[in-house]
């Protein structure tokens, strides 16, 4: 029994991970932030063995997946796309139009909120 | 004054409701109906909800004649239920909350049923029988919690009915339970079935196996006894089977409800949940209540069967009493027991 082996566990070949990065652009930084916050809430199911990291970069979301198996990665990405499309469709359908100040062409005042 | 929008989608119904200070402004719903002999599966159910959730929200807003800015809180079902359908409601609720800058609140599905029943009937402190496709519980309020006095130890009563309906190939439209109820009205002969009450708890899976066997002996698992089957298998009609199943399982529910009433010295019973709109169950419970000098409160299918309004109402009560939820906590959970929720809105 050698106690010193635990730091070198990454030499096993099973630990080779499959990775994927998605970069999703949005029309506005505001939409990107909403989608980022909505999609950050749900954690990956523990049995899936997929690690998912979301980052918000301006008007873009970057998602990085690390999985032990390709099939788990596919499942994780498929369900992520499902959630993403539901969120972006909801934004499109229910976005509040700035009806208060659309009479003038003043773009600067539109961000008063 | 609290104005709340509620989204419910924990099982095969997707519903949106709007309530303002106990006044119903909108309550719309779509049901995912599967072909006879088939149940609803998580993935397909989620796809159904996704197809209809946006138009239901629009319809609810239109009926209520409200603008998003008139709402104080957006509520969604946090659990219990099937994860994929729950997520549809949660993701849309989160997105709306951020888009419209309105607080978000996750609601326990069972609490939604109880509070909706209390609002509609005016029952003050009833023993609650919550019976649906996923839950079977006898509940009493005590010291800021809805406490579970008795429940099923295996499948829910509605699940037992739904699966029996599948075996005899009844239609799932409008619901399997409704079709069983109609057939049962024509039943004449009572077929003896197992009666399984264990203390305050009930069990339905054995009854289901037993009646499955009566309805379709060809599917009997124990093939070694094949020779005996052909000897004398009495013919049972679907009507008699439906009638006998209802009488047996409803009698079990009435028994544990009566025991809870005696224990809590309560004389009010409230039936909620999808099975609660079965008129035979209501009739049996009413007889029991009248014999004890008590009163039964029951509601019709608009409020009994899963709906968005109950989530809106329970959420509004929580919001009024100061409950808030951080956005990071707006996840869903398949298991979420009724007694986990601190009842901040009741003072008794």
Q: Looking at residue B223, what is its pLDDT?
A: 55
> Which chain B residues are Cβ-neighbours of A90 within 8 angstroms?
54, 91-92, 95-96, 99
Percent residues over pLDDT 70 in chain B: 96
- A7 has pLDDT over 80: no
What is the Cα–Cα distance from B221 to B163, expressed in whole angstroms? 17
Question: Is residue B54 within 8 Å of B6, Cβ to Cβ?
Answer: no
Average pLDDT for chain B: 95
Q: What is the mean pLDDT of residues B154-178?
A: 97
Strand partners, A64: A21, A53
- A100 has pLDDT over 60: no
What is the Cα–Cα distance from B254 to A67, expressed in whole angstroms? 51
B131 annotated as a binding-site residue: yes
Q: Looking at residue A45, what is its pLDDT?
A: 87
Question: How does residue B235 score in pLDDT terms, banded at 50, 70 and 90?
Answer: confident
The domain locations on chain A are 16-92
**For chain B, how big is the Rg over CA atoms in Å?**
21
Contact B92 A86 (CB under 8 A): yes
What number of helices (H) and strands (E) belong to chain B?
11, 12
Backbone angles phi, psi at B107, to 5 degrees: -120, 140
- Give the angle subtended at the CA of B291 by the CAs of B288 and B296, to the nearest 5°: 50
Contact B98 A34 (CB under 8 A): yes
Q: Which two structure tokens, joined as six digits, stand for B242?
A: 């439906």
Q: Which two structure tokens, joined as six digits, stand for B5?
A: 């929008």
Strand-pair category, B268-272 with B295-298: parallel
Q: Which two structure tokens, joined as six digits, stand for A19?
A: 């990775």
A9 min Cα distance to partner chain B (Å): 34
Kindly state the DSSP code that residue A97 receives in the 8-state scheme: P
Question: How does residue B29 score in pLDDT terms, banded at 50, 70 and 90?
Answer: very high
Q: Looking at residue B222, what is its pLDDT?
A: 61
Question: Is residue B166 within 8 Å of B176, Cβ to Cβ?
Answer: yes
Q: Looking at residue A108, what is its pLDDT?
A: 40
Question: Is residue B249 within 8 Å of B281, Cβ to Cβ?
Answer: no
Of B50, B58, B330, the CB nearest to A41: B330
Of B57, B68, B327, the CB nearest to A96: B68
- B303 has pLDDT over 80: yes
Helix (H) / strand (E) element for B127: namely strand B127-131
ipTM, 2 dp: 0.92
> Which chain A residues are Cβ-neighbours of B54 within 8 angstroms?
89-90, 93-94
Question: How does residue A2 score in pLDDT terms, banded at 50, 70 and 90?
Answer: very low
Question: How does residue B327 score in pLDDT terms, banded at 50, 70 and 90?
Answer: very high
Strand-pair category, B145-151 with B136-142: antiparallel
Tokens 């796309």 locate to: A81
Contact A87 B95 (CB under 8 A): yes
**Fold (topology level) of A16-92:** TATA-Binding Protein (3.30.310)
Strand-pair category, B295-298 with B13-20: unpaired
Question: How does residue A113 score in pLDDT terms, banded at 50, 70 and 90?
Answer: very low
- What domains are there in chain B, each with its CATH number? 3-114+306-340 (3.30.420.40), 125-303 (3.30.420.40)
Cα B323 from chain centroid (whole Å): 24
User: Per-residue pLDDT tens for A16-55?
Assistant: 899 999 999 999 999 999 999 999 999 988 888 999 999 9
DSSP three-state, residue B343: coil
Q: What is the mean pLDDT of residues B186-214?
A: 96
A70 min Cα distance to partner chain B (Å): 21
Q: Looking at residue B234, what is its pLDDT?
A: 63
Q: What are the Cα distances from residue B9, in Å, to B151, B259, B306, B311?
A: 23, 33, 8, 10
Q: What is the mean pLDDT of residues B22-39?
A: 97
Q: Looking at residue B230, what is its pLDDT?
A: 54
Q: Looking at residue A48, what is its pLDDT?
A: 86
Q: Which two structure tokens, joined as six digits, stand for B198?
A: 């264990």
Question: How does residue A11 score in pLDDT terms, banded at 50, 70 and 90?
Answer: very low
Maximum pairwise Cα distance, chain B: 72
B58 CB within 8 Å of a chain A CB: yes
Q: Which two structure tokens, joined as six digits, stand for B109?
A: 């599905």
What is the Cα–Cα distance from B317 to B73, expressed in whole angstroms? 11
Classify each residue of A27-54 as buried b or exposed e, where b means 16 or more C-beta atoms within 10 Å of its C-beta. eeebbbbbbbbbbbbbebeeebebebeb
Q: Looking at residue B246, what is its pLDDT?
A: 98
Q: Looking at residue B232, what is its pLDDT?
A: 54
Q: What are the Cα distances from residue B310, in Å, to A30, B108, B216, B273, B293?
A: 32, 10, 39, 11, 29
User: Per-residue pLDDT tens for B47-91?
Assistant: 999 999 999 999 999 999 999 999 999 999 999 999 999 999 999
Q: What is the mean pLDDT of residues B297-324?
A: 97
What is the Cα–Cα distance from B67 to B243, expressed in whole angstroms? 48
User: Can you state the angle between helices B308-320 and B109-121, rounded to 10 degrees?
Assistant: 90
From the candidates A34, A84, A90, which should be mutated to test the interface with B, based on the most B CB atoms within 10 A? Answer: A90
User: Per-residue pLDDT tens for B274-286?
Assistant: 999 999 999 999 9
Q: Looking at residue A111, what is its pLDDT?
A: 41
Burial of B275 (0-12, 13-18, 19+ CB in 10 A): buried
What is the Cα–Cα distance from A62 to A54, expressed in whole angstroms? 6
Across A50-59, A103-112, B193-202, B281-290, least confident range: A103-112
Q: What are the Cα distances from residue A65, in Å, to A13, A24, A52, A69, B12?
A: 19, 14, 5, 11, 31
Contact B50 A86 (CB under 8 A): yes
Strand-pair category, B104-108 with B13-20: unpaired
């Amino acid at each position: 029994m050698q106690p010193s082996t635990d730091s070198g566990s990454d030499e096993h070949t099973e630990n080779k991970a499959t990775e994927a990065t998605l970069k999703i652009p949005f029309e506005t930084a505001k939409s990107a932030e909403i989608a980022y916050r909505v999609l950050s809430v749900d954690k990956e199911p523990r049995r899936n063995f997929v690690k998912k990291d979301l980052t918000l970069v301006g008007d873009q979301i970057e998602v990085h997946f690390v999985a032990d198996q390709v099939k788990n990665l596919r499942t994780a990405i498929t369900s992520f796309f499902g959630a993403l499309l539901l969120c972006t469709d909801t934004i499109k359908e229910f976005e509040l139009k700035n009806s208060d100040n659309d009479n003038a062409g003043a773009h600067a005042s539109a961000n008063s909120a | 004054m609290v104005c709340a929008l509620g989204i419910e989608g924990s099982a095969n119904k997707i519903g949106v409701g709007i309530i303002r200070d106990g006044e119903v402004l909108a309550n719309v719903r779509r049901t995912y109906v599967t072909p006879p002999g088939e149940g609803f599966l998580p993935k397909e159910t989620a796809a159904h909800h996704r197809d209809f959730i946006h138009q239901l929200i629009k319809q609810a807003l239109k009926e209520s004649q409200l603008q998003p800015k008139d709402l104080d809180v957006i509520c969604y079902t946090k659990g219990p239920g099937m994860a994929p359908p729950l997520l549809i409601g949660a993701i849309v609720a989160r997105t709306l909350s951020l888009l419209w800058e309105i607080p978000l609140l996750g609601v326990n599905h069972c609490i939604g049923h109880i509070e909706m029943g209390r609002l509609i009937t005016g029952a003050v402190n009833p023993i609650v029988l919550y019976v649906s496709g996923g839950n079977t519980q006898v509940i009493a309020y005590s010291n800021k919690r809805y406490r579970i006095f008795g429940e099923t130890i295996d499948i829910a009563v509605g699940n037992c009915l739904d699966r029996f309906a599948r075996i005899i190939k009844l239609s799932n439209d409008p619901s399997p339970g409704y079709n069983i109820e109609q057939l049962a009205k024509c039943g004449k002969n009572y077929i003896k079935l197992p009666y399984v009450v264990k203390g305050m708890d009930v069990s339905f899976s054995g009854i289901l196996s037993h009646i499955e066997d009566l309805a379709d002996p060809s599917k009997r698992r124990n093939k070694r006894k094949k020779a005996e089957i052909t000897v004398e298998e009495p013919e049972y009609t679907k009507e008699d089977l439906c009638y006998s199943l209802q009488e047996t399982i409803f009698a079990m529910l009435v028994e544990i409800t009566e025991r809870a009433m005696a224990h809590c010295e309560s004389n009010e019973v409230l039936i909620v949940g999808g099975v609660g709109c079965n008129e035979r169950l209501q009739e049996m419970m009413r007889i029991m209540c009248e014999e004890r000098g008590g009163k039964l409160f029951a509601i019709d299918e608009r409020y009994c069967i899963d709906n968005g309004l109950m989530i809106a109402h329970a959420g509004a009560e929580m919001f009024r009493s100061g409950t808030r939820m951080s956005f990071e906590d707006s996840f869903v959970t398949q298991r979420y027991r009724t007694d986990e929720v601190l009842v901040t809105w009741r003072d008794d």
